[in-house]
Amino acid sequence: MRSLDDFAHAKLSELEHRSLRRRLRTTHRVPEGRVERDGRSFVSFSCNDYLNLAHDPRVREAATRALHRQGAGAGASRLVTGNHDEYDALERALAHFKGSEAAMVFGSGYLANLGVIPALVGPGDLVLLDEWCHACLFAGAKLSGATLRRFAHNDARELRALLHDERPAYPRCLVLTEGVFSMDGDLAPLAEMAPLCETHDAWLLVDDAHGFGVVGAGGRGSAHVGDAPVRVPLQVGTLSKAGGSYGGYLCASAVVVELLHSRARTGVYSTGLPPATVAAARQALEIIEDEPWRGERAVAQAQAFAACLGLPRPQSAIVPVLLGSARRSLAASAFLEERGFLVVAIRPPTVPEDTSRLRFAFHSAHRPEDVVGAAEALKLFLAGYAGP
């Protein structure tokens, strides 16, 4: 269609002009957190495989066994015939690990939020969410049709005011935040937020995509960072980052999970995950439980890097280096790439205007010299590049 292609051309050139066009690059990830692109090898700071489990021989072996035993695909949605036995093993293990009554695995973290939120609230209900929430929390909230109000990032006082002023007018209220914020690496003040939500009968949903396996006692996530675990009734996360595999999860009470089996549309109307994928996640979870040093090491790498640059001490495996414009971030990324470090520039709309950045993600297999080398290269860029 002529008008369709014209539309696409016009949109693309507008994005190009604003340094916001994105391009796929074929990337070959190899063990120990390195990647190959166009025949060159890089140390990657842009993989979320924080514990280096995607290539772990035990994980690959578990996936291979399931593949041979059960085939490549689930064949139907879980409610029909796609609920293979790998699901039950993983969900039991997840619930046990997270200290919840039950767990439900979804096609991805994105699909978990898209399924869970609209199943619990709808038009006439209220959703309060942190302004920095991930796109899929916003998408789930919008899809629900509930009234949306954002609060300033990690501002428990504003949340309290909103709960006080607005909550009484709505039958149900959901509060959404991230445990570890994906683009900034900071933690939500859950110990403050959870009691507030309880007081106002609001249901707290925490997306711990970057906390699972990395932070909290033994990698149990951001609800387990303090002395006593924080009670979070809806804990969402992904199996695709520290989990080394693919899929999303919700940990909640047994009755809530039971309801979602019937009502979460991304579960009901989407094919089950391949058995090998679920088996890999199950094996990865076992390793997370047995080898807590992996998560600790990922965070320690981030802290060593931040110390080199005089940045605040990170609480997670993520360190953002804010550069302002999209152009400057792309230039920094190219500068590091020339020196063998892969750090993808993060630009709007993923982050707000003028907060484009390099987002460094650390993992358990980074070598000390890689961490220091990347910090030194970045210092060089910051000293020499005075562009816009």
Ligand X SMILES: *Cc1c(COP(=O)(O)O)cnc(C)c1O
- Interface contacts to ligand X, rule CB under 6 A: 108-110, 134, 136, 178, 182, 207, 209-210, 238, 240, 248
Q: Which is nearer to ligand X, 114 or 306 (CB)?
A: 114
Closest Cα to residue 284, out of 39, 14, 55, 32? 55
Is 142 among the residues known to form the active site? no
Q: Which is nearer to ligand X, 269 or 293 (CB)?
A: 269
Is 83 among the residues known to form the active site? no
C-beta of 237: minimal distance to ligand X in Å? 8
C-beta of 5: minimal distance to ligand X in Å? 30
Q: Which is nearer to ligand X, 335 or 362 (CB)?
A: 362
253-285 core/surface letters (b: 16 or more CB in 10 A; e: else): eeebbeebeeebebbbebebbbbbbbbbbbbbb
Q: Which is nearer to ligand X, 277 or 335 (CB)?
A: 277
Question: Strand pairing partners for 210?
Answer: none
C-beta of 220: minimal distance to ligand X in Å? 17
C-alpha pair distances (Å), 370 with each of 127, 320, 342: 43, 17, 11
C-beta of 109: minimal distance to ligand X in Å? 2
Sheet (strand 356-361) strand order? 318-324, 356-361, 345-346
Strand extents, DSSP E, the chain: 28-30, 34-37, 40-44, 102-106, 126-130, 147-151, 173-178, 203-207, 234-238, 248-252, 318-324, 341-342, 345-346, 356-361
Is 207 among the residues known to form the active site? yes
Annotated active-site residue in 84, 98, 200, 241? 241
Q: Which is nearer to ligand X, 82 or 243 (CB)?
A: 243
**DSSP annotation string for 157-212:** HHHHHHHHHHGGGSS-EEEEEESB-TTT-PBP-HHHHHHHHHHTT-EEEEE-TTTT
Is 134 among the residues known to form the active site? yes
Beta-strand relationship, 147-151 and 203-207: unpaired
DSSP state, 235? E
Is 182 among the residues known to form the active site? yes
Q: Which is nearer to ligand X, 240 or 283 (CB)?
A: 240
Is 241 among the residues known to form the active site? yes
Annotated active-site residue in 200, 210, 224, 366? 210
Q: Which is nearer to ligand X, 91 or 207 (CB)?
A: 207
C-beta of 178: minimal distance to ligand X in Å? 5
Which residue's Cβ lies closest to ligand X? Answer: 109
d(CA 38, CA 30): 14
Q: Which is nearer to ligand X, 97 or 132 (CB)?
A: 132
C-beta of 136: minimal distance to ligand X in Å? 5
C-beta of 135: minimal distance to ligand X in Å? 8
Annotated active-site residue in 207, 222, 240, 364? 207
3-state secondary structure 316-340: CCEEEEEEECHHHHHHHHHHHHHCC
d(CA 141, CA 115): 10
Tokens 């993520």 -> residue: 318
Sheet (strand 341-342) strand order? 28-30, 34-37, 40-44, 341-342
C-beta of 197: minimal distance to ligand X in Å? 19
Annotated active-site residue in 182, 222, 333, 356? 182
Cβ proximity of 327 and 354 under 8 Å: no
Is 155 among the residues known to form the active site? no
**Active-site residue list:** 48, 134, 178, 182, 207, 210, 241
